Amino acid sequence: MLTPLLLLWPLSLALTWYVAQGIASKPFDRALEFNLQALTQIVQQDNGRVRFELGKQARDLLRADDSDIVYHQVLDSRGQLVSGDSDLPPPGAQELVETGRIRLRDDVVRGDEVRVAYTWLMAKGDSAPVLLQLAETKGKRSTLANEIIKGVMVPQFVILPVAVLLVWLALVRGIRPLSDLEQRIRARRPDDLSPIEESFIPQEVAPLVSSINDLLTRLKASLSTQRRFLADAAHQLKTPLAGLRMQAELAQRETDPNETRKSLQQIARASARATHTVNQLLALARAESTGRALPSARVDLARLVPGVVQDSVPRALEAGVDLGYEGPEALPEAAHHVGNPILLQEMVRNLLDNAIAYSGRGGVVTARVLFDRFSGVQVIQVEDNGPGVPENERELVMQPFYRALGTNVDGSGLGLAIVQEIAQQHGATVHMEDAHPERAQRGLRVSIKFPPTPETQPE
């Protein structure tokens, strides 16, 4: 702050000097005009002749004082000097002559700057006016201006250092809580993500500390999710990897080619389960941690879902499942959702994989896209005729690694957790119900309801 103040101080003095010149000139200009007005009373004109006789009062008026010299000049209508100093220059030739009006100008007489008051006088019968001028040097004006500048400059010499000192002391005291806050943050352990105490911080930085606490809370939740994910992943991968090792050891001991082939088949199945589990874990990690950072685009669900169904046909044929799609071929452009196409495809693929796996050979799986033109709501449905999910377990199957009891289907328990996570990131809700409540095999219908887009939202 000291640097800009020191730079502004000379500018302040220059402005003060300029203002002081105007202030100092005004009273002296009024006095000069008054004296000129008094001199006009003693100018006499008679038949073209001009007389100017100074009395005692007039001589006292023109007497030089201690500071300035006073000049006067009277020129007749022909420009001849009647009285006064011939060195006093007349007004400019281009200046408009106005009788009876007193004007002021700056000029130079004998090398000295002077302030000149002048006017023209017109007598009856004369064709040209008489010029009367009164000039005064600027000694008193400069002295008064210098006194004004001193009166302003001297206090500034005292006020400026005092102001800088007071500001410095105030800033040191005001920043002390920030220094304490800095020390508290630096003294924290790397694993300490608890909120920063907000009781002893300046009010001005309270929003900043609140934002940092919010960031710490979200970071803590993210790290907890990652730790839980790593623990669950290690637990889920431990079993298939142990099975692979056991089958490999058995294959090494076998001498019968048939038994060796069976062991190799078990190894292939265990490898497929491990690969599926790893892929599911990676999909869940991507959905939980990077879904919001992935690029978004306008997605037509009526085109996206059939594409995923077509990709799943080979697996359905292998499992002996009748897989189909019901719904429009395309939705209006205004109904296209802004989202990540890769994650949405992953969500539909997990629903189809679950439905195909639990329907069994001879099962029927149907994917649908429903669109209500009045409300703008869109729904993705995947329906199967498998055993279904009991109502009391429908919330539990949304959790990672949970599998419904009584099923003998291979899986990792991550499919519906991935569906739930991706749906939440796109503002959708997941709902489960029995597809065929009147049958023994109730089946399962999973509906993902998307809110209307701003263009299709009813007024």
455 part of a folded domain = no
CATH code of 259's domain:
1.10.287.130
What is the pLDDT, as a whole number, of residue 455?
Answer: 72
Q: Is a pLDDT exceeding 70 seen at residue 349?
A: yes
φ, ψ of residue 289 to 5 degrees: the values are -105, -30
102 part of a folded domain = yes
Number of Cα atoms under 13 Å in the Cβ half of residue 448: 24
Residues 269 and 376 in one domain: no
Residues 72 and 217 in one domain: no
Residues 398 and 336 in one domain: yes
Residues 443 and 305 in one domain: yes
CA distance 286 to 422: 10
Confidence of residue 294 (pLDDT cuts 50, 70, 90): low
Residues 423 and 317 in one domain: yes
DSSP E strand stretches across 158-244: none
Classify residue 97 by its DSSP letter.
Answer: P
CATH code of 339's domain:
3.30.565.10
Structure tokens at 57: 């009062």
CA distance 138 to 315: 107
411 part of a folded domain = yes
333 part of a folded domain = yes
- Residue 104: give the domain boundaries: 2-146
Dihedral sign of CA atoms 134, 140, 145, 148 in order: negative
Average pLDDT over every residue of 257-261: 80
169 part of a folded domain = no
**Residue 413, Cβ neighbours under 10 Å: how many?**
18
**Tens digits of residue pLDDT in 14-39:** 888 888 877 878 888 898 888 888 88
Residues 285 and 308 in one domain: no
CA distance 188 to 207: 21
**Which residues are registered as beta bridge partners of 71?**
135
Cβ atoms of 455 and 334 closer than 8 Å: yes
**Which residues are registered as beta bridge partners of 134?**
72, 117
Provide the whole-model pTM. 0.47
Residues in the chain: 459
Structure tokens at 419: 């569906």
131 part of a folded domain = yes
Distance of CA 373 to the CA centre of its chain: 38
What is the pLDDT, as a whole number, of residue 379?
Answer: 93
Residues 285 and 320 in one domain: no
Residues 135 and 17 in one domain: yes
What is the pLDDT, as a whole number, of residue 402?
Answer: 60
Residues 243 and 344 in one domain: no
Tally of structural domains, the chain: 3
**Tens digits of residue pLDDT in 6-19:** 788 788 878 888 88
152 part of a folded domain = no
Residues 236 and 316 in one domain: no
